[in-house]
Amino acid sequence: MREDQRPFFRLAVQQAEAAYNIKANHPLFFYWMQDPVAEVLKYRSDGFKYALIAISTFFAFNILCVAGSVFAFSKLSHEF
């Protein structure tokens, strides 16, 4: 839940407590969706995309480090 919406949800709980004479110590808030399966598949697809981006970035960084090390050691070996 977004933080800017939390007061409105709490207000709804307070109104329900007053209207129905109930006590809600730990209310649960849900969003009803048209197609929850599609939403979960979207989360999965986004997670897979970000994982691939992270792996690709790490691979590029590794290649850059190896190339820098090879260059530095090749310069170092020519001095001796």
Q: Which pLDDT tens digit goes with each residue over 11-27? A: 999 999 999 999 999 99
User: What 3-state class would DSSP assign to 57?
Assistant: helix
What's the whole-model pTM score?
A: 0.58
pLDDT attached to residue 32: 86
Distance CA 46, CA 79 (A): 50
Q: Are 8 and 16 in contact (CB under 8 A)?
A: no
Q: Which pLDDT tens digit goes with each residue over 33-80? A: 899 999 999 999 999 999 999 999 999 999 999 999 999 998 887 766
Q: Are 48 and 34 in contact (CB under 8 A)?
A: no
pLDDT attached to residue 80: 60
Nearest alpha-carbon partner for 17 in 27, 5, 8, 29: 27
